[in-house]
Amino acid sequence: MRKLYAMLFTLIVLLSTTMSVEALESKTIERHNGASAYADWTETNGNTTTYTYLSVTETDDGTDIYMSIYTSGPDYWSGKSGYVFTKDNVFSINKKLNFASLSEVEMNVYNWYTGETETLNVKADWTGEGDISTGSSTYSSKYDDYRFRSSDSSSYRKASATGSINNYDLGESSYGSLSKFESAYMSMEK
């Protein structure tokens, strides 16, 4: 019986030592990869100008799509915007940022002027132009027993885009871009 108590006591000591070491040390590592594309279009008809902005960001979690449309005239202004998140495979971009495509997505858009919501079908295609710009950064810090490190890298390329809303052709974009990014974070406390 005494041997059994001795074994149980040893086991409890070993478990508590292991638990205290784990409690004193925590480590978190996060990695994020993604790609994005954006474009804007400006259309003028007489005294009325319409500005349309579209951005798409894809990460491991899914794809975020945002769009806004502003229309203004001599004595008129209206604005509407919408956002949708989807896990569907609606966005594709090639590795060298030569092209990207957003397949048709249904989006609810809120009109700030009337307070009404409408459903729009949006799609777009991008073509990369010019050289690819790249950048990277690293950061580390230490305070007492806490350490933090991060690294980021990205590549960017100017692009032209075509798109449509409810099958209305937006024409060629005034400006556009394609980009890819990678980031990593590590925090550790002893």
Please give the sequence-ordered ranges of beta strands (E in DSSP) within the chain, or none if there are none: 26-45, 48-59, 63-73, 76-86, 91-93, 99-111, 117-143, 146-165, 168-172, 175-189
Buried b (16+ CB within 10 A) or exposed e, 140-169: eeeeeeeeeeeeeebbbbebbbbbebeeee
Q: pLDDT digits over 19-76, tens only?
A: 444 444 787 877 778 999 999 999 999 999 999 999 999 998 999 999 999 999 988 8
Q: pLDDT digits over 88-118, tens only?
A: 999 999 989 999 999 999 999 999 988 999 9
pTM of the model: 0.76
Instruction: Assess contact for 71 and 50: CB atoms under 8 A.
Output: yes
